[in-house]
Each structure stands twice: as C-alpha cells, then as structure tokens.
Amino acid sequence: MIEDVQNNGIIINTAVKDLKSLRPYAVEEEKPLLAKIIRLTFEHIEEYETFAIDIPEEEPIEGHEEELEQSEPSEPAESLLYLFNLLAEPDNKSNRLDLRAYANALKEYAEEN
C-alpha cells in the first residue's frame, strides 16, 4: 500500500479495497485502534474520494511553543502515506499518539461535513 501511494498517489478503488482487506488482520490481532483507523480511513476515502486529513502537528515542548511554525495543509497522498507508515509500526509510542490524532481528525471531519 505504501509503495502504491508513493508511485501512483491515491487511487480510490485500490486504497479502499486494500484497507478493507487489511482490517480483518487488525481485528484478528486484537488491535482495536488499528481496526478503527483503517475503517475510518476507508470510509473517508469512499465518501470524499480523497484523503482530506492533514498530518498531525507536533506537540510543542513546554516553553518553546513559539518555535513551531504554522504548517501548510498536507497533500492528501502525503498524509495518507504518513498514516500508512504509522500503521506499519503501531507499537511505537509516538506513532500511537499520531494514530489517535488521525482517528480524532477523521471523526471530526465526518461530523463537520
């Protein structure tokens, strides 16, 4: 999936099909966060025919909030690729935080649109 997005960008039907086939493995492995993110992602791509969620911003370090610049919105393929890389290593603590941020952003986007 990572290679597909890197080489071809987001191909809606392929991304949805691949994510739907990946989700049972997350359920089987008892990884509820992954199963949820995968479901929210393929539902989002099906509904909006893109991936309109930005890459989560880094949390500022206390006392250094002003050092973080306001970032430009992410390109859909870039953000989806970042999400796929997070899914590849879900046990990493910072990856879990970003996965939760994606879950929240996907739910918020669906509520707003």
User: Tens-digit pLDDT profile for the chain (113 aa)?
Assistant: 999 999 999 999 999 999 999 999 999 999 999 999 999 999 999 999 999 999 998 764 455 455 445 557 789 999 999 999 999 999 999 999 999 999 999 999 999 98
Q: Contact, 46 vs 16, CB < 8 A? A: yes
- The answer to whether position 43 is within a domain reads yes
| Residue 17 within any structural domain of the chain | yes
Asked, for residue 83, whether it belongs to a domain, the answer is: yes
In a domain, 20, yes or no: yes
Residue 66 domain-assigned? no
Give CA–CA dist 35/43, Å, rounded. 12
17: tokens are 């099909």
Domain hosting residue 88, numbered range: 2-53+73-112
Model confidence, pTM? 0.86
Q: How many domains does the chain have?
A: 1
Report CA 98 to chain centroid distance, whole Å. 8
In a domain, 39, yes or no: yes
For CA atoms 93, 7, 32, 50, give the dihedral sign.
positive
